[in-house]
Amino acid sequence: MLSMLLFIFVIFILMLGYPVAFTLSGVSIIFAIICSFTNNFDLTLLFALPSRIFGIITNETLVAIPMFIFMGIMLEKSKIAERLLEAMSSLFSKVKGGLGISVIIVGALLAASTGIVGATVVTMGLLSLPTMLKQKYDVKIATGTILASGTLGQIIPPSIILILLGDVMSSSYQEAQNMLGIFSQESISVGDLFAGAIFPGLILVGLYIIYIVYIAHFRSDLIPEYKSKKNFTAKEIILSLYSPLFLILIVLGVIILGIATPTEASSFGAIGSTLLAFINKKLNLEILRDVVIQASKITSMIFILLIGATIFSLVFRGLEGDIFINNTLSNLPGDIYFKLSIVMFAIFLLGFILDFIEITYVVIPVVAPILLSMGIDPVWLGILIAINLQTSFLTPPFGFAIFYLKSVIPKDIQTVDIYKGVIPFIVIQIITIILIIIVPEITTWLPNKIFG
């Protein structure tokens, strides 16, 4: 029970507003020292921290994170994303709900390039919301569309969360096989999760677009006809779409086809985005400096969180928290799906107060091995967790994405309107989760086809 007390205390300190990374590490070490006085924790376990931290820093898979962050920020700073939105808006200008469709598609493309929810939501809020409001889009529809398209970065490769999940799920899968006494072990990779996420991501984009088209046809008071101010020629539209789309497809293609690892492909993406900015005459020393500084800040934040999470994980396991969770789940009544639903609901609630990195490195390493030892497919579980967190980030009143958008929109937009606008998209998310549970092949067919 001490492990559960540690978990509750960490959440309490986080809710007081203290930095996540230092809360995880500081509270865990203080808790470990206190528990050592009552002989409930062996302090010699902390000697494993240097090797754990060294393992994080030298993890080849995690090297992909700064490269993909650099790629996304470069596409944003060089105005390539802004031009892409203008071109898409012109392309769909004669379609009812064309601007909303454009926002969803560009959001998906930005998600595939940036891979970070906060960055995509803020970028789409700054680029799209003024235009949507000028075109008399209902505030609820506009904000809901931006939030939903911005959070696609959770599921569409090369999502940062899929890279982190790939690392954690790989370790969890090996641990689950050890628990079952299987020593000729199978493994999963980030490429497996990338392949498994493609169809769910496309399904979400398709359902979002269907919803916008439906509203545009039957509620013209909410989505009026869109008139593009700038008419792009066919050549301009192709050029605006071709460059970022080609880069994204190449980066994902070499990973999924097994030509390159995610780390190798990420470096290609970083160089490619820089070349695109140079070709479009949007690259100078000032932009390059801003991109490097922002990418360094975000990368540092992520790795500090990883170090804090590994300290928490070590203390939590030292207090036998993993054994407690294992026994609790094993003794629950019902079948595997009931136990899975309990875990998914808990992760959903934690998504209100913890960022995806903390959940990925604090919660999932504890529960995933137990679920995987019950025979659950690791790719299927990983994608379910990713979409679950995406839904959690959208859900009022605590959704992270809502706060990201609220920070960059006009003050006169009411929070309750944002809540109302995002609810239909949350329903779409839940429908997608149910669909994946009923038809697991949506996530497992492509990885099996590619990687066997």
pLDDT digits over 53-74, tens only? 888 788 777 787 788 778 877 8
In a domain, 33, yes or no: no
The answer to whether residue 16 sits within a structural domain is no
At residue 355 the predicted structure's pLDDT band, cuts being 50, 70 and 90, is low
Instruction: Flag whether 19 is in a domain.
Output: no
Residue 322 lies in a domain: yes
- Domain interval for residue 232: 2-11+44-451
Q: Does 23 map to a domain?
A: no
Q: Reply yes or no on whether the pLDDT at 425 is more than 90.
A: yes
User: Is pLDDT above 80 for 136?
Assistant: yes
Position 35 in a domain: no
Q: Confidence class of residue 428 from pLDDT cuts 50, 70 and 90?
A: very high
pLDDT grade for 427, boundaries at 50, 70 and 90: very high
Q: Does the residue 427 lie in any domain?
A: yes
For residue 126, is pLDDT > 80? no
Could you report the per-residue pLDDT of 27-50, keeping only the tens digit for each? 889 988 988 888 888 888 888 888
Q: Quick check: 364 pLDDT over 80? A: yes
Is 232 domain-assigned? yes
Output the pLDDT for position 114. Answer: 59
How many domains does the chain contain in total?
1
- For 281-291, write each residue's pLDDT tens digit: 778 888 899 98
Distance from C-alpha of 112 to C-alpha of 160, rounded to nearest angstrom: 10
Overall average pLDDT of the 167-181 stretch = 86
pLDDT band at 226 (very low <50, low <70, confident <90, very high): low
**Mean pLDDT computed over every residue of the chain:** 82
Q: What predicted TM-score, i.e. pTM, was given to this entire model?
A: 0.79
